[in-house]
Amino acid sequence: SGHAAIRPICKLEKETTEHFILHCIAKPHPGWVLAGSSRRELSRAIVKIRLLTGTYLLEGRKSHMRKSVKAGRCPLCDLETETREHFLLKCAVLEMVREPYMFHIGRYVNTRSLSEDDRVRLILDPSHFTQNQEQLQTLEETTRRLCYALHHHRLQLLQRNV
């Protein structure tokens, strides 16, 4: 059906430390490589990489850092803790932003058959889902734009409520 299986980032069986450093660590993440050099795409890539690395501060992470019990609810929907998964996949307020991007992604990967963790992984690092460079470029661009669109819409809504 054209959908690729998940593959590991780097195989470590019987690999030397030198191989690991040169081929796994020293490689820039596809999110940077495929972003290009335009300011707009780099701005989008920064949001996505921050989500990937856990440095994008959502309310759930802020409350965990403050060790707060009450805080952490999604400031948009107030239905559950605002985690990365909630932000990327579940927040009902962001659904209209998310849906067209997920539809486009679904043309390359059957997202309905994926677990929630794998859907998050697909959005943040589509290199695990295809080895085809053209598909990877398309998925990376689409997911980068999805992350930025969610981020931008969230900020607009939060600024209105201030």
CA distances from 147 to 46, 51, 84, 111 (A): 10, 8, 11, 16
Does residue 31 or residue 138 have the better pLDDT? 138
Q: What is the pLDDT of residues 80-111, one digit of tens each?
A: 999 999 999 999 999 999 999 999 999 999 98
Give the model's confidence band at 54: pLDDT under 50 very low, under 70 low, under 90 confident, else very high.
confident
Q: How far apart are CA 86 and CA 150, in angstroms?
A: 11
Q: What is the pLDDT of residues 105-132, one digit of tens each?
A: 999 999 889 999 999 999 999 988 888 9
Q: At what angle do helices 133-160 and 39-53 cross, to 10 degrees?
A: 80
Backbone angles phi, psi at 34, to 5 degrees: -85, -5
